[in-house]
Structure 1
């Protein structure tokens, strides 16, 4: 079968990406999916570069997120049958391929009315956003939030879900032009970090008190600056380090205002828990009701994978990039 393969971390050229590899087998508790669409995430780019914080071995069939149809159920699988339409998260990657074996607990049944494109676009970004807001932290009406990288895929999901909860949303972008999309999705104020001081804006909008919560995917210096605009007893929630790991002064920053700091990786959530099921019901329900938009910023064939990665790395996209594998 054809698949997108990372031979080794670091410098990769386009001719190393598309390969023929053996078709996987559904082991006990796994479901073999005939993949129709796969979603690209910043984590995939980090794996390609070898800087992902949850290391994988190489060569690696890429792809964490997918949608498709159940082909075979492994021993002990219950609740799924061949022909079922599903979305899935593959912690060990493998989704950028014609077939992918996924543990049954990491699958979500797709409503008949939901397209495979949407199915490959919501799992990681929408559910990460939900759990950032409602599981590892709590978000209620009147809360003030600062969301970094608000124009990206998770940022746009965070914006919509936070506004549904009644929060005031302030966001930052590092690429001029991304402000418009976040504002259109409901953000109250968006700051371009290249031309405006987000700390001053946050303090002005909160009468000098600081925001209640910061949701960050940047790390490094942007995260460090953010401590100057969060209130005492506030909460910092991290889900990525696009600029780099938190600076070594993290402890000193936290104790200055008695802050709490949380780091979330969606793969660490218990897919059998009530919190997980609540998130799935809320997100899928909101998508189907037209209340939560999952924007698709681009669609690429397997032979266009290099262009897809380049588009993500350019930071010019506002929404999900999807890989077309089967119709």
Structure 2
């Protein structure tokens, strides 16, 4: 029996319940992994709240790191005793141990701790697909990145700096803006005291940015479009302030033949080979020192409700993990 966080109904943090559940043996294509640390992400809140519908009851959590205890038939890239980390479907990472599909579980290099592994997989591979699989960014390009002091944002700031990309960060306080600058952002805008669209135009001499990467959603969407150069790309990859409401596609033409996409990590990592290659690039960035994983909050598994409240109130910076 292992401690596992489940929801029986969707709602606020109070629906998160810690219970004891059995963990069995892995079948073909599966592993059993004993977690050392678990990552916390906004997608967990979306699944808990009902923004993303799911069959109930269900365990939550998309990201963790630990040690492989057993492997099922056909699993060749992992063996018992291996250190491993993952960010993948199905939810169920908020637990001490689990049986799960092996294809998107990645061998974790010795130079990366379990806590770093749990804090970096979903966020780091998100940055990888934003920078390398959604738009072919190159040195000299300019990106506007919202929520730049969060877990994804701080990785993005460092990733951009390592590749010669100008990153304009937004955040909700002067302290968070300073944090983004310290992690490699070229400029930072406090969106609570400045109009970020106006400031972006000033910083780019009226041209606009090549790409906007927006995980906030409803409250920043219109302003984000106003930050783009003609034929620029809007990447809407999250809903922290709520989902983007329906809008008139004609606005894209009027604002400069803009492009827009709504990607998700889980499409990009669906193929085993792609997932492992993305993880290797992320691990390489961390091992080279180009990206440092900042963990600013740690909560015991049985305090998961408090962790969700802190994340949704935007009281967190960097990454947040659950300890098991």
CA offsets 1:127-171 (integer angstroms, 9 cap, x no match) = 101110110111111111111111111111111111212111111
Structure 1 gap segments, 5+ residues each = none
Aligned ranges 1:175-190 → 2 under 5 Å: 175-190=173-188
Q: 1:248 aligns with which of 243, 246, 255?
A: 246
Q: Cα deviation per residue 1:199-219 (whole Å; 9 max; x = unaligned)?
A: 111111111111111001112
Once the two structures are TM-superposed, the CA of residue 76 in structure 1 deviates from its matched residue by 1.5
Instruction: Find out whether 1:8 has 2:9 as its counterpart.
Output: yes
**8 A contact 1:62–1:93 mirrored in 2:** yes
**Total equivalences in the alignment:** 322
2:200 aligns with: 202
Q: 2:145 aligns with which of 144, 147, 150?
A: 147
Paired with 1:11 and 1:166, the residues of 2 have a C-alpha distance of 41
Aligned mates of 1:121, 1:219 — CA distance in 2: 23
After TM superposition, list the pairs within 5 Å mapping 1:59-98 onto structure 2: 59-98=57-96
* Structure 2 SS opposite 1:120: helix
Question: CA 1:284–1:30 in 2, change beyond 3 Å: closer, same or farther?
Answer: same
Q: Which of 229, 232, 235 is the matching residue for 1:231?
A: 229
Q: Where does residue 43 of structure 1 map in the other structure?
A: 43
Q: How does 1:149-168 map to 2 (within 5 A)?
A: 149-168=147-166
Return the alpha-carbon distance in structure 2 between the equivalents of residues 24 and 93 of structure 1: 17
Counterpart in the other structure of 2:284: 285
> Are the structure 2 counterparts of residues 18 and 196 from structure 1 closer, same or farther at C-alpha, using a change threshold of 3 Å?
same
The 10-residue stretch of structure 1 (216-225 or 59-68) with the greater mean CA deviation from structure 2: 216-225
Cα distance, 1:56 vs. partner?
Answer: 2.0
Deviations 1:75-116 (A, max 9, x none): 221121111110012411111112122322211101122210
Using the TM superposition, give the Cα deviation of residue 175 of structure 1 relative to its aligned residue in structure 2, in angstroms: 4.3
Is the 2:299–2:323 contact (alpha carbons within 8 Å) kept by the matching residues of 1?
A: yes
* 8 Å Cα contact 2:103-2:272 kept in structure 1: no
Q: Aligned pair in 2 of structure 1 residues 148, 109: CA closer, same or farther (>3 Å)?
A: same
Aligned counterparts of 1:124 and 1:236: Cα–Cα separation in 2: 21
Deviations, residues 185-210 of structure 1 (Å, cap 9, x unaligned): 01111111111011111111111111
- Asked if the contact 1:3–1:19 (Cα under 8 Å) also holds between the matched residues in 2, the reply is yes
**TM-score, normalised relative to structure 1:** 0.93
Structure 2: tracts of 5 or more residues without a match: none
**Aligned equivalents of 2:226, 2:179: Cα separation in 1:** 26
Alpha-carbon offset, residue 276 of structure 1 = 4.0
Contact 2:224 2:234 in 1 (8 A): no
Rate the CA distance shift 1:215–1:117 in 2: closer, same or farther, 3 A: same
- Higher deviation after alignment, 73-82 or 119-128: 73-82
Q: CA deviation at 1:37?
A: 0.8
- Distance 1:6-1:176 versus aligned 2 partners, 3 A rule: farther
- TM-score w.r.t. length of structure 2: 0.94
Q: Within 2, Cα distance between the matches of 1:231 and 1:206?
A: 10
SS of structure 1 residue aligned to 2:22? coil
State the secondary structure of the residue aligned to 2:134. coil
C-alpha contact (below 8 Å) 1:148/1:155 kept by paired residues? yes
Question: Could you tell me how far 1:274 is from its partner in structure 2?
Answer: 6.0
